[in-house]
């Protein structure tokens, strides 16, 4: 696998550009606004943002995190999303090289980022994100000429089926919805991308990360018992960790644990 500095630069630039677009999607789609027009404006004063103030990460640093016109604070969410997208795109390129597979997994990273942040804000996973994810997943499977179809379909069934059953169990136990339909549908998307082996690992890493993070937040009194918590971000964490480390963890388990 040939990894070059030019390839890393291209993946970084793609991440910066799509990270900036992800911010538009995250802000506008839940508000049922067009992601095409109008141009971006300051959420405080409504002034249209010039192109030189809309350069990913760099403009935020130059402006000191404040609007040029009204000096109101710009959310740090914007550079964070751009940085995460860039970092994950570069990581995917580093792992898979210049290939169709790399582009395919970059599309998964994009879907996971926008899904996680919208779910954090609104406790929903909009249907357009699911539709886009399924289209991207199927497009990649077609490009691979059917070699992954069976594993992909089993992976989708494993994640979505498990989450659906977990939702039924949680509703019976707590007398309220504990798993949204959006989470189940997102499970289909992730399963199609990961295949059955990594889907199993994704479920383990998702619930493990959720337990650890929620315990920490509860200890810090940032989350109270009984408060509804978005599950999409934990699914995104589990999917990313599984993609990059899943096979390594499976090999470790089979070598040192499985008898």
Residue 120 CA: distances (Å) to CA of 5, 188, 205 = 35, 20, 19
pLDDT the model gives residue 187 = 97
pLDDT the model gives residue 218 = 86
Q: Same domain, yes or no, for 196 and 234?
A: yes
Tell me which DSSP letter residue 35 carries: S
Residue 50 CA: distances (Å) to CA of 23, 40, 43, 53, 68 = 16, 8, 14, 5, 10
Q: Same domain, yes or no, for 83 and 111?
A: no
Q: Same domain, yes or no, for 162 and 68?
A: no
Residue 239 CA: distances (Å) to CA of 149, 186, 196, 198 = 19, 11, 12, 8
User: What distance in Å separates the CA atoms of residue 170 and residue 122, rounded to the nearest whole number?
Assistant: 21
Domain boundary among 82, 98, 114: 98
pLDDT the model gives residue 258 = 65
- The number of domains in the chain is 2
Residue appearing with tokens 């959420």: 43
φ, ψ for residue 48, nearest 5 deg: -65, 135
Q: Same domain, yes or no, for 133 and 229?
A: yes
User: What distance in Å separates the CA atoms of residue 129 and residue 111, rounded to the nearest whole number?
Assistant: 7
Per-residue tens of pLDDT for the chain, all 259 residues: 678 899 999 999 999 999 999 999 999 999 889 888 888 888 888 889 998 889 999 999 999 999 999 999 999 999 999 999 999 999 999 999 989 999 999 999 999 999 999 999 999 999 999 999 999 999 999 988 777 899 999 999 999 999 999 989 887 777 777 788 899 999 999 999 999 999 999 999 999 999 999 999 888 888 776 678 899 999 999 999 999 999 999 888 888 876 5
Q: Same domain, yes or no, for 180 and 75?
A: no
Plot region of 127 (φ>0 → left; ψ -120 to 50 → alpha; else → beta): alpha
User: What distance in Å separates the CA atoms of residue 105 and residue 2, rounded to the nearest whole number?
Assistant: 18
Q: Same domain, yes or no, for 75 and 107?
A: no
Domain boundary among 51, 73, 98: 98
Q: Is 41 helix (H, G, I), strand (E, B) or coil?
A: strand
User: What distance in Å separates the CA atoms of residue 54 and residue 168, rounded to the nearest whole number?
Assistant: 45
Domain boundary among 54, 78, 98: 98
**Whether the predicted model's global pTM rises above the 0.75 cut:** yes
Q: Same domain, yes or no, for 93 and 105?
A: no
User: What distance in Å separates the CA atoms of residue 39 and residue 204, rounded to the nearest whole number?
Assistant: 41
Residue 37 CA: distances (Å) to CA of 24, 28, 40, 41, 42 = 10, 10, 8, 11, 14
CB atoms near residue 122 (< 10 Å): 14
Residue 83 CA: distances (Å) to CA of 164, 198, 238 = 33, 25, 19
pLDDT the model gives residue 259 = 55
Residue appearing with tokens 């506008």: 28
Q: Same domain, yes or no, for 105 and 46?
A: no
Q: Same domain, yes or no, for 128 and 246?
A: yes
Q: Same domain, yes or no, for 198 and 159?
A: yes
Please name the residues in contact with 47: beta carbons below 8 A apart, sequence gap of 6 or more. 41, 67, 69, 70
- List the domain range (segments joined by +) for residue 173: 99-259
Q: Same domain, yes or no, for 121 and 218?
A: yes
Q: Same domain, yes or no, for 114 and 235?
A: yes
User: What distance in Å separates the CA atoms of residue 9 and residue 90, rounded to the nearest whole number?
Assistant: 8
Tell me which DSSP letter residue 38 carries: S
């Amino acid at each position: 696998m040939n990894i070059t500095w030019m390839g890393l630069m291209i993946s970084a630039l793609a991440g910066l550009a799509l990270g900036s677009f992800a911010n538009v999607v995250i802000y506008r789609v839940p508000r049922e606004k067009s992601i095409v027009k109008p141009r971006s404006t300051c959420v405080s004063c409504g002034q249209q943002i010039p192109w030189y103030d809309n350069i990913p990460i760099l403009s935020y640093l130059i402006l000191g995190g404040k609007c040029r016109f009204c000096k109101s604070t710009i959310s740090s969410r914007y550079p964070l999303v751009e940085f995460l997208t860039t970092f994950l795109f570069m990581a995917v390129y580093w792992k898979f090289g210049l290939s169709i597979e790399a582009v395919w997994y970059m599309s998964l990273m994009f879907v996971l980022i926008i899904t996680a942040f919208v779910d954090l804000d609104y406790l929903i996973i909009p249907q357009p994100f699911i539709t886009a994810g399924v289209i991207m997943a199927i497009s990649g499977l077609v490009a691979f000429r059917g070699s992954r179809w069976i594993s992909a379909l089993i992976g989708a069934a494993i994640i979505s089926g498990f989450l659906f059953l977990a939702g039924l169990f949680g509703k019976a136990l707590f007398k309220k919805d504990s798993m949204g339909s959006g989470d189940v549908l997102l499970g289909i998307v992730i399963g199609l991308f990961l295949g059955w082996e990594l889907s199993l690992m994704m479920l383990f890493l998702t619930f493990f990360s959720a337990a650890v993070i929620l315990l920490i937040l509860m200890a810090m009194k940032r989350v109270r018992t009984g408060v509804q918590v978005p599950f999409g971000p934990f699914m995104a964490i589990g999917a990313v960790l599984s993609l990059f480390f899943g096979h390594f963890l499976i090999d470790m388990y089979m070598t040192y644990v499985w008898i």
